[in-house]
Amino acid sequence: MKPKFSVPETLKPYLRRTQANGVDIFLYDSGPALAEEPPFLLIHGLGDDADSWRRVFPLLMRRGRVIAPDLPGFGRSGHPRRAYTLGFFAKTLTALLERLELSQAVLVGSSMGGAVALRMTLRWPERVARLVLVGGPPMGGRPSKLQLLFLIPGQGERLYNRLRASQEAAYESLRPYYANLEALPAEERAFLRERVWDRVWSDEQRRAFFSAFRWMALERLWTPSAAQLASLDKPTQVVWGEQDGIIPAEAGQRLARLIPGARFQVIPGAGHLPHQERPEELAQLVLA
């Protein structure tokens, strides 16, 4: 089966392709804004793609320019055969800002995207206007049994491939990431059903997924040290879904306590992906 990774109709006007750090990058770009403010750079999480932001993108456009790329290895961006480390993602996004002739951006990162945003901020602070960390990165905690199995080369891939047996099983694998998957609009559920089927049949994305997952495990579950977090001097919001079943809200509270001046905010009725379940509430917090 050849994955399609179709583009949502609402985002088609903003589709672009470019190169950054030697990688072909697929992105949505709302184009130059009237106000001279840093654009929003939306960074998706592990195994996801830019379409994760499809309901937030138009809401943020009301305030300024919005850019949402597929990270290298995921979605419709290039899939180079290499190690997918946080440093590689951060360097590529910094190169993307340079390519777009942008000096700074507001980084909005979901889960692993939050870890990438933190890595960018620590390495290239002059490129970051402020930070919004959504549901990640985690602070400490023990990996689950499934995560431990995913760390084993070959074993993780076999478990991943089992989802190819049934589109319904692939769709059901999304349920832990949402507070209430069935509460999403019918068109959203149909989109997710199609998209997860594309992902599990993409050998290239599977390779990137396991490379990124295993490198993050080596980097101590994605999180900078307490001393590094204490050195951050950027305005920071830490936003968590109240019913996040992947990384509990307590982890977000710990993260916010370690970043000077960070604000911790909870979105009721949301799981690990509040930008999909509660897009209006998240957009309001980002724009506040």
How confident is the model at residue 156, as a pLDDT? 81
Terminal CA-CA length for the chain: 44
Question: Is 213 among the domain residues?
Answer: no
* Tokens 């478990």 found at: 159
Residues β-bridged to residue 29: 67
How far apart CA 123 and CA 203 sit, in angstroms, is: 31
What CA–CA distances, in Å, run from 140 to 111, 150, 247?
14, 18, 10
Question: Is 29 among the domain residues?
Answer: yes
Residues β-bridged to residue 23: 20
Domains identified in the chain, total number: 1
Question: Is 199 among the domain residues?
Answer: no
β-pairing verdict for 66-69 and 40-43: parallel
Q: Are 68 and 48 in contact (CB under 8 A)?
A: no
Question: Is 177 among the domain residues?
Answer: no
Q: Are 83 and 218 in contact (CB under 8 A)?
A: no
**HSE-up of residue 217 (Cα within 13 Å, Cβ side):** 14
Question: Is 116 among the domain residues?
Answer: yes
For residue 268, count CB atoms less than 10 angstroms from its CB and return exposed for 0-12, middle for 13-18, buried for 19 or more.
exposed
Q: Which domain CATH number covers 127?
A: 3.40.50.1820
Query: For the chain, which ranges sit under pLDDT 50?
Result: none
Q: Which domain holds residue 73?
A: 9-142+221-287
How far apart CA 76 and CA 274 sit, in angstroms, is: 23
Question: Is 162 among the domain residues?
Answer: no
Question: Is 159 among the domain residues?
Answer: no
How confident is the model at residue 142, as a pLDDT? 64
Question: Is 30 among the domain residues?
Answer: yes
Q: Are 172 and 181 in contact (CB under 8 A)?
A: no
How confident is the model at residue 188, as a pLDDT? 95
Kindly tell me the number of DSSP H helices and DSSP E strands found in the chain: 12, 8
- pLDDT 10s digits, 129-171: 999 999 988 766 666 666 666 676 777 888 888 989 999 999 9
Token pair for 49: 């793609």
